[in-house]
A and B are shown apart, each in its own frame.
Chain A
Amino acid sequence: MNFDFSNEQKMLKDQARKFLQDQCSSTVVRQVLEGEMEYASHVWQEMAQMGWQGTCIPEAYGGAGLGYLELCVLAEEVGRSLAPIPFSSSVYLAAEALLSAGSEAQKSHWLPKLSSGEAIGVLALAEGAGAPVESHLQCQFSGGQLTGKKMPVLDGPLADVAIVVAKDGETGGVSLVLVDVADSSVQTEPLTTVDPTRPQAIMTFNNTPAECLGAPGKGWGLLTQLFNKAAVLLAFEQIGGADAALQMARDYALGRYAFGRQIGSFQAIKHKLADCYIKNELARSNTYFGAWALSTNARELPLAAATARVSATQAFEFAAKENIQTHGGMGYTWEFDCHLYYRRAKLLALSLGSALTWKNRLVDQLEQPSAA
């Protein structure tokens, strides 16, 4: 058994951590928070130079042609640093959708751009509050044109290309459709959200020229597969964030005194942080299993992805809220970074569907006769 990352992958992870510590400190995250910039474009560009966006994109399309395990270690560090960049949208969703379902022409057109960071891709699924349901989607695709409204679209204000989940007029099913956001019929309105360090938008399409990505009417199945992969990658961002939040709480608990002693000597604090550690480790283990399933395209991927997603979501949300609690009043100030984790934890918890949704999927998998 070798249930661990290789030395090369660990080195990549260390390099990524150092790079992000230097280039993407919380000062940078805060510049986006304060609206001084839309995203950390300099970080994005330097990452592109190191080939991160193209980690899993084949060399033929300008990528690095590495594997998912490499992308997993990068994702953990992106999560740890709370990097305000459209990494998950462009890399785990848009590029992956193109890779798995795109035509040769679509791939040759978009993948080199996504890989070099020159273009940013997003996925547009939600149409307001409530779980998106296959049969209830309002966005309509027919005759090569897309019409409807998507909200919220994560990283929407940055998008060059959008993959939109829409009702397919011809087949009556759901299709994934590819839209060049530069088209004048696409309207992108910025949206305020709980985590301003990642911009979001309302995207409106009005007879927008679009083309099917993958077989018409088969979009829901493609989306499910895409989400299973993305859930593992996002779980790595979540455990990275969860670790950072725990570290922050621990450091504060060592430095803050009350009643003549370090607050970290009170059991109410110690046990809370021990619980945080336990949740993080369980999530890490499940997330590693997800990485294995993703990298080997295993039959277990749907169950492994749901398991990783559920525990990583719980771990990050718990660590983020208890980090605020450990800081007392300081934790509730804009000035301290606690809220950055709290915000990001919630964003990541909801962006591929909530824990509620993923728990359901998990049990669906267990109900299958072949469940592992």
Chain B
Amino acid sequence: MRDIKIQVNDLSLYYGEKKALKEISMQIPANKVTALIGPSGCGKSTFLRCINRMNDLIPSVKITGEMLVEGVDIYDKNVDVVNIRKKIGMVFQKSNPFPKSIYENVAYGPRINGLKDKTQLDEIVETSLRQAAIWDEFKDRLDDSALGLSGGQQQRLCIARTLAVSPDIILMDEPASALDPISTSKIEELVHQLKENYTIIIVTHNMQQAARTSDHTAFFYMGELIEMGKTNAIFTKPEKKQTEDYITGRFG
């Protein structure tokens, strides 16, 4: 099955005693946008962070089950977490550029991978910024501090920074939640363009956004995966009552 990128089998996650994800099983298709929706605290972020093993940073976390990416279990003992994260990039809910210049932010990833050549770096910075559709805005102020940018600009810079390490999968945790409608639509546009080359998984609270940007949608509720399917199907005729209630805004 070439077009299944990620296969999740019975994945459970515990924060200490608390079971935050309950036997999740799903398939995430390649080169498509998959949206994760669900009420606050249902485990969307937790699940997303499982995919690039960011939960390793929390000492109390225990994970069971399998997370197969192209058939390789990323929780296997022999798998290197650093290599995983190079291939599975992440954009956070709150934009978090480094306190460095715009250029240095984007060049950071290639640099830690050992790239020193200035012309190559310049090239990657330009391509990444172009891909994130902010090259024209930023090309004359690459040496400015990234912290002086607006929230929307910062978020797109973070996306460019992620693209610069040329990952395979991009995880986005409510990337537009703190942004105005214009910045939001820019990011949605971006997501749409990026899916040609990347597999994208995006968490969102915004139903229209999920409907607009994603090909597939997964609905989480209280740590369980309730339903997953084509976005069209989920939004027009959901199979489960809970999904319908949530989408139509009757709870959540």
Chain A partners chain B: no
